[in-house]
Amino acid sequence: MSPVLPDGWDLAALDHVGSTNAEALRLAQDGKRGPMWVWARSQSSGRGRQGKPWVSEPGNLYCTALLNVGTGPHVWTQLSFVAGLAAYDAAGRCLEGASEPWRLALKWPNDLLLNGHKISGILLESTTVADVGAVLAVGIGLNLQHSPSDAPPPYGATHLCALGGDIAVECALEHLAQAFADWRDVWADGAGFSRVRDAWTERAHGMGEQVAVNMPDETLTGRFARLDEDGAMILELEDGTERRILVGDLFLANQAHAAARAAQNLRTT
C-alpha cells in the first residue's frame, strides 16, 4: 500500500538508495522542494552520527524529511528534538498491540531506546540551494523487524517485532510523518521550542541522574541537570560547576566502565 502523509507533504518512495539523506539533498539540488519525505526500503550507505554506518536491510524504516528552512543553524538543531519526539510517538503507536511490556525513552542527543536498547537514530544534514537558501535533511531510522547483533554495549540494539509490535513499514511511516508534522507545528520555527524541550525532557533517559558523557577529547561525569534554551545538555559537575555540552554520548553512572571503554575505542580507531 502507499503510505498516506499529512496534507502538504510529498513522498519520494524508493526500493533502494545509498542514503535517504543524500538522496533528499540531491533532490533539493535538482529542484525538489519541501516539505517531503524520502523513503527507501533499504540503503547501501546508511549512516548515523560521526559517520557511523547504519545497517539498512529491508524490513526497517529508513526515511528523511526534506525541509526548506529560513532560520539559522542554531535553530535547525532543535529539529532533532522534534524528530525524537516524532520517533517516540510513532514507536508507541506501533507498540500498541505488543505482547510484552515496554518502555520508551529519548537518549540525548538523538537516540530512542526501547527497554534500554537502541531502536532509532536521527541525523541532520544541510545544504544550500541557489535561489532557495538552506535546506535541511532530517534522517530517521527505526528498527521494526530486525536490529544489528553487534551493536556496542551497554545499550545494544533491539527492534519492535521483538515485543510483538506492528511492523508494517508503511504504517510506521504514516505514524512518523503525522507525529513529525504535529510536533513541527508545536515547534513553530523555534518559537515553540520551550514546549518541545519540556516534552522531550519528560521522556528523557537519565534526566536528573548521574551520567558519564563521552566527548571526542574527554569523558565527563556529573548530573544531567537540564537542557538549555538551545537544547544543549547542562551537566552539573561534582564541584557544583556546570558544563554546556553540544555533542557527546551519554551513559548512566552505573555504565561508567562501559562508557570509558567506548571512549577509548573511539579515540584509538
Residue 266 pLDDT? 45
Residues 260 and 233 in one domain: yes
Per the domain annotation, does 76 fall within a domain?
yes
Give the pTM: 0.91
- Asked whether the predicted pLDDT for residue 136 surpasses 70, the reply is yes
pLDDT band at residue 253, thresholds of 50, 70 and 90? confident
Q: Please name which of 68, 200, 28, 234 lies closest in space to residue 122, comparing C-alpha atoms.
A: 200
Residues 223 and 161 in one domain: no
Per the domain annotation, does 91 fall within a domain?
yes
- Asked whether the predicted pLDDT for residue 227 surpasses 60, the reply is yes
Residues 139 and 163 in one domain: yes
Domain boundary among 144, 177, 202: 202
CATH number of the domain bearing residue 182: 3.30.930.10
Per the domain annotation, does 255 fall within a domain?
yes
Domain boundary among 202, 218, 245: 202
Specify the residue for cell string 577529547: 217
Q: Quote the domain boundaries for residue 15.
A: 10-202
Burial of 203 (0-12, 13-18, 19+ CB in 10 A): middle
Instruction: Provide the grid cell at 103.
Output: 518502555
Q: Which residue has the higher pLDDT, 203 or 255?
A: 203
pLDDT band at residue 46, thresholds of 50, 70 and 90? low
- Asked whether the predicted pLDDT for residue 145 surpasses 80, the reply is yes
Instruction: Provide the grid cell at 188.
Output: 513553530
Per the domain annotation, does 4 fall within a domain?
no
Per the domain annotation, does 155 fall within a domain?
yes
Q: How many helices (H) and strands (E) does the chain have?
A: 6, 12
Tally the domains of the chain: 2
Query: Considering the chain, what is the average pLDDT of its residues?
Result: 89
β-bridge partners, 17: 43
Per the domain annotation, does 15 fall within a domain?
yes
Per the domain annotation, does 5 fall within a domain?
no
Residues 193 and 174 in one domain: yes
Which H/E stretch holds residue 222?
strand 219-227
Mean pLDDT of 219-236: 95
Residues 53 and 146 in one domain: yes
Who contacts 149 (Cβ-Cβ below 8 Å, separation ≥6)? none
Per the domain annotation, does 2 fall within a domain?
no
Residues 196 and 227 in one domain: no
Mean pLDDT of 128-148: 91
Residues 198 and 102 in one domain: yes
Who contacts 179 (Cβ-Cβ below 8 Å, separation ≥6)? 85, 86, 87, 89, 90, 93
> CA 86 to CA 173: how far, in whole Å?
11
Residues 41 and 97 in one domain: yes
Residues 128 and 232 in one domain: no
Mean pLDDT of 226-240: 94
Residues 88 and 29 in one domain: yes
